[in-house]
Structure 1
C-alpha cells in the first residue's frame, strides 16, 4: 500500500447546506482524496460529467421501480473512475447513493465503505423501499460507518458484520463552538435545524407555549425562543406563532452560517430539539447541533430519539423526554428558566463530555483509522 492512502469519495451532492459534514470530511481526512458528485456535470471534465449523467439515469430507473438495473450505470462509470485514480478505498456517502455504485466493489476489487447518516437508514423512500438492495449492499461492502447504536442495529439486521461497523457521530467544531454562559444569559432558548417532521419544530413550539403558560407573568415576559433554519414546515410554524400571538416571543432567523449559530449559543440559556420518528419513518442519526450546543456549554433539552441519548446524559448534561411529550419538554425548560445555576452546571458537564469524546477531530481520527484498517485488509486479500 502507498505511504498516503488514496480515497475515492462518491456522493450525491456537495452543494446542499445539509451536506456540510461531507465537505468537512473532504477537508479534514489526511488522505489524497478524489471526490465525484452525482449532481455535477462539468462539460470540461468528461469523467465527472459522465458520472453525473449515470447517477441521473440511476435515479430514473429507481423511480420506474427497476431497482436492480438502477445499480449498474453509476457503478460502471465508478469502475472507470477507479481505473483513473487507483484508490485504496472507495467511500460512498449515504446508503441510498451506495446502492447506485455498490457493484464497483466486486467489479474493481477495491474495498467499499458506506457512510450512513440518518434518513438513509430509516425513511420510507431512502431505506424501506431499497431494503432488499441494502441486503445486497451489506454483502459487497467491506465496512460501514454509522451515527448511532440504533443505526448499527438496523444495518446488522440486514447483514452488516458487527466487527466491520464504526459508530462515529460527525462531531462538533472546537474552533467555533465555545464560551456559553447559561447562568448569566437571559431565559432564551435556541433551536437549530431544518423545519422537517423528524426535527419536530411544531412540538418545540408547543413546548415553548406550555412553558409560557406555566410561568408567572413577570418571568414569562423575559422568555424567548429563537428558531434557526428553513424548510417545508417553516410557514406553518410562522402561522402558528401569529395565531397564538407569540410573535414577540418566537423569532425565526432562517438559515445561518455556523459562526452566527455559535454566536447565538453564547447568548442563550439552553438548547431545545424535539426530534422524533416522522410518519415516513425518517429518523435522526446523531444531530450535530445537539453536539455543538453542548460543546458551547449549553444544557440540552431533547428527546429519547435515535443517537441523542448517546450524547446527552439525562440529568447530567441536559434533560431527555419521550417523543411527543410536549409537557415534559416544557417542564424541563422551566427548570432551566427558574435555575440558571443548574443550567450552568449541566452546560459545563456537557462541554466536558463533548470535548473529550465528540469533536470533529475525534470523528476524523476515528474514520481515518477505520479506513486505514479497511485498506490494509483489502491489500492483504489481493
Structure 2
C-alpha cells in the first residue's frame, strides 16, 4: 500500500489543522495509507484517527511568532537541526512515498524529506504581506526545495510567489473544501423591531477582530436595533488577555447582556442555524472557512474586504464586504440586511449556491489527490489553476 506521511504543526481544532481532516479523507479515499506526525497530542487526534489516519507523536519544533528575535531564530534553527535525524528516521521507517507538510512553519520537514530522497508537497495556508521583505523571503525560501505547493487562495499565492518568484512554477491553487451535514435549518424571516441574532466564529485574537463585531453591536443598539452577538471560539495560548478584554468590553452598559461567549462549538452548525446574520470582520484572512460554513448554512454573511474573503464573496451577491477594522461600516451593512428582507434572502441563497458550486469537499478531494498522484508519478499536475504571473 502506498504511504503518505503528513507533518502537521499541532492537533488544534481550527483553521489549517481542521482542514487537514479533509485532506486525510481524500487520501484514504484513494487507497493511501496516511501516517500523521504531530509534536504533541490534542483534540484533533481522535478525529484524524476516525478518518483513517495513524497518528504518531514526534518531537520536532514549530516556527511561531514568538521566535521572531535573534535568540529565538538561533534556538529554533538549533532545535530543527537536532530534530532532522528523528524526522528522517520516521520517513524511512513508515516507508513514506511522499511527505505532505501542512503549512510553512515546518521547513525542517522539507529538508528531512529531501535527505530521505522522497517527494514533498507543502500546503501553504499563510498570506503574510505585512512583515519585512527579508522576513517574508526567509519564511518562503525553503519552499524552493518542495516538489509542489498547494496555495489556498489567490491572496496566498500572490504573497508567497511575490516574496520568492521562483516558486511560481511549482504552485497550485486549491481552495479549501467544506461540506455541511445535516441540512441547514430554514432561515427565519428577519422582521424589523424584533431581536437580531448575530454570530461570529473565530479564534479570539486581534487579527480575527471580534472586538470590531462587539463595537458594531454597540452602534446597532444605539440606533435602536436589538442586536445580539454570539461569539464562538477560544483564544490561542498566550492570548487569554484578549478574551478578558473582550469580556470586559461586553460588560459595558451599551452592550451589557447582548454579548454571549459560547467557547469552542463543534459541530458549528447549531450556532449558525441560530443566527440571522453571520459576521467575519477579520483584519487579515488568507481564506476563511467560517465564511463558507455560514454560506452553506443559508445565512447572509457580512465580512471584511480582507484577502481571501474577496475570493469567497461577491459583494451584493453572496454576501457583503466592508472595510476591515471599521465597526461603523460593519454595523451599516448589518442594518442594511436587517431592514431589507429581500436582500437578506438573496444573499443567503446566493452564498449557499456559491459555496456548493465552488468550495465543496468533493472538489477539494479531487484536486488534492490529483496533485499527490501527479507529484509521486512525476507527471504534470492537472489542478484547475496553476499559480499565474
TM-score range, shorter chain: 0.7 to 0.9
Greater Cα shift, 228-237 or 160-169: 160-169
**Partner Cα separation in structure 1 for residue 280 and residue 63 of structure 2:** 38
In structure 2, the residue matched to 1:345 is 346
Q: Deviation per CA, 1:90-148: give whole Å up to 9, x if none.
A: 10111011x122212331221111112237x46769x975742531x122111111221
Alpha-carbon shift at residue 16 of structure 1 (Å): 4.8
Q: Which runs of 5+ in 2 are unaligned?
A: 43-54, 381-389
**Deviation at 1:358?**
0.4
Q: Would the aligned equivalents of 2:152 and 2:174 in 1 still touch at CA under 8 Å?
A: yes
327-336 or 29-38: which moved more? Answer: 29-38
What is the match of residue 210 of structure 1?
A: 219
RMSD: 3.0
Equivalent in the alignment of 2:279: 272
Tell me which moved more, 73-82 or 31-40: 73-82
Quick one: structure 1 residues 57 and 169, their matched pair in 2 at CA, closer, same or farther if it must change by over 3 Å? closer
Asked which structure has the greater RCO (Cα within 8 Å, sep 6+), the reply is: 1
CA–CA distance in 2 between the matches of 1:115 and 1:17? 16
Tell me which residue corresponds to 1:230.
234
2:160 to 155, 165, 178: 155
3-state SS of paired residue (2:172): strand
Contact 2:104–2:123, Cα closer than 8 Å, also in 1 = yes
* Higher mean C-alpha displacement, 247-256 vs 313-322: 247-256
CA contact (8 A) 2:36 2:56 kept: no
Checking the alignment, whether the CA contact within 8 Å between 1:174 and 1:355 is kept in structure 2 is: no
1:10 and 2:1 aligned: no
How far does residue 179 in structure 1 lie from its aligned partner after superposition? Answer: 3.4
Cα distance per residue 1:282-331 (max 9 Å; x no partner): x4221111110001111110111120110011010111011122211111
* C-alpha distance in 1 between matches for 2:310 and 2:63: 40
Deviation of residue 81 (structure 1)? 1.8
CA, structure 1 residues 75+25, in 2 after alignment: closer, same or farther (shift >3 Å)? same
Task: Provide the TM-score with structure 1 as the length reference.
Answer: 0.82
Output the CA distance in 2 between the equivalents of 1:236 and 1:315: 33
1:211-260 per-residue CA deviation (whole Å, 9 max, x = no partner) reads: 2223xx3xx23x322111122322211111212342222222111112xx
Deviates more, 1:355-364 or 1:74-83: 74-83
Aligned mates of 2:108, 2:94 — CA distance in 1: 20
Structure 2 SS opposite 1:256: coil
Report how far residue 194 of structure 1 moved: 1.1
* Number of the residue aligned with 2:119: 111
- 1:49-106 CA-to-partner distances (Å, cap 9, x unmatched) read 6x31x43899999725256544423332222222222222110111011x12221233
Look up the match of 1:23: 21
CA shift at 1:204, angstroms?
Answer: 1.1
Change (3 A) 1:173 1:140: same
What is the CA–CA distance in structure 2 between the aligned matches of 1:160 and 1:353, rounded to whole Å?
A: 33
Q: Which residue of 2 aligns with 1:166?
A: 172
Q: Give the 3-state SS of the residue equivalent to 2:61 in structure 1.
A: helix
Task: Map 1:302-313 to 2 at 5 A.
Answer: 302-313=303-314
Residue number in structure 2 paired with 1:86 = 95
The answer as to whether partners of 2:11 and 2:41 remain within 8 angstroms in 1 is no
Count of paired positions: 352
